[in-house]
Amino acid sequence: MLQGEIYAIIKKVDSFWVKSERLAGWIEVRVYNSGTSIDEHDLPLVFDRFYRASKTRQKDGTGLGLAIAKWIVDQHEGTISVKSSMGKGCVFTILLPEI
């Protein structure tokens, strides 16, 4: 089931890729997409439960995906952040402590 969901997500964006690297005791994972951007005023709220940016209100979804991702990262004592450039897409950065 998860594989199908990932495939569905990949199909929704123009270009999607993941990059990871080790950084002095941390593992950094960056998820890039060149599809949908996030408005600047929505950025501080995207990790809140049930938050859906005005641009996505007509699409399917519950507003839980990024909140769950943040909870998982928090449970592993890491951080997650997002940067967006209108019309160019988003970069999600996850930092996890190296075990």
Domains of the chain, each with CATH number or no CATH: 2-97 (3.30.565.10)
Q: What is the pLDDT along the chain (99 residues), one digit of tens a residue?
A: 344 444 455 555 567 788 999 999 999 999 988 877 777 888 787 888 877 776 554 566 677 788 999 999 999 999 999 998 887 888 999 999 998
- Sorted by sequence, the CB contacts under 8 Å of residue 38 that are 6+ apart come out as 46, 53, 55, 82, 84, 90
Q: The tokens 């969901």 sit on which residue?
A: 5
What pairs with residue 83 in β-bridges?
91
* Predicted local confidence at residue 97, as pLDDT: 95
* Predicted local confidence at residue 64, as pLDDT: 79
List the end-to-end C-alpha distance of the chain, in Å, as a whole number. Answer: 29
* Predicted local confidence at residue 40, as pLDDT: 82
